[in-house]
Amino acid sequence: MDEILSVKNLNKNYPTFSLKDVSFSLKPGEIMGFIGRNGAGKTTTLKSIMNLVHYDSGTVYAFGKEMMGNELENKQRIGFALSELNFYPNKTIAQLMGVTKRFYKNFDEKKFEEACRLFKLDTRKKLEELSSGMKVKYSVAVALSHHAELLILDEPTSGLDPVSRDEVLDIFRDIVKKDNRAILFSTHITSDLDKCASAITYIHDGRILYTGTKAGFIDAYRFVSDKSKNKKAIETYISYKELDDRIEGLIDAKDQEAISPLGLEPIEPDLEQIMVFLERSKDNEGFDL
């Protein structure tokens, strides 16, 4: 299987927002981070993939089969979770398992119990009693228990403490090491992607600006910190901000040679620096104080 998920030219129009020809694909063994600022279209895209939002045009393929017409079959192989679990809050995990297993023909109770032990989930606890981190682990436990090959998760690490986030990311890495599984998860915590993602899809205002390898995304840019505040360098920046003691900015990697004669040393940026400066360049926002 070349692609476990393929999204092609997805369009969805709302009165104040639109998805515009959203296209990307995910291969077995990949962890793809879906990034963009709040309101950029991440959740709408994920819901569209799962047919929870009826998009206006485009196609979604999972496991080589179009979701439209093969939804029930495909969803047996997909683990999906939104950012906050709010169904049956008064049910215990054990009671929820009894409900959930009815929907999946391959649900394995022993596998679920094994995952709960691994994640230290107390099956006697009610859903409303679980922390955000425990809810994420519960969602992953359910996905593993019906042998999901594709996990689609919306902001799974949002609100987690650093230790819980690190545990969840370790789980993600382990999941894709075998059985041709893949994970697509939206996030605004770019440091999580530094740790586990192999691919990035970046959406801005409903439009995909980049999709491909994480290494390729990072390698396209360079970060500059200029304590001399050289005004000649400003025209080279994609965007920049002036601090008390320096100017920080982002440039295209191909423009390194133009910056070097000015005594500046561009370095490889991290994902957060790229996203912050690209968003500044797109929105060109300022404050009149």
CB atoms inside a 10 Å sphere around CB 193: 26
The pLDDT of 219-227, averaged and rounded, is: 95
Query: What is the band of 221 on the pLDDT scale with cuts at 50, 70, 90?
Result: very high
CB atoms inside a 10 Å sphere around CB 38: 8
Torsion angle of alpha carbons 2, 198, 39, 169, nearest 10°?
Answer: 120
- pTM for the full predicted model: 0.88
* CB crowding 74-104: b at 16 or more within 10 Å, else e: bbbbbbbbbbebeeeeeebbeebbeebbeeb
Supply angle C-alpha 104, 52, 29, rounded to 5. Answer: 60
For residue 211, report the phi and psi dihedrals to the nearest 5 degrees: -145, 130
The pLDDT tens digits of the residues spanning 142-179 come to: 888 888 999 999 888 877 788 888 888 898 899 898 77
Supply angle C-alpha 149, 28, 67, rounded to 5. Answer: 60
Residue 33, pLDDT score: 96
User: CA–CA separation, 155 vs 186, rounded Å?
Assistant: 5
The pLDDT tens digits of the residues spanning 54-80 come to: 999 999 999 999 999 999 999 999 998
- What are the beta bridge partners of residue 35? 202
> For residue 79, what is the enclosing H or E element?
strand 78-81
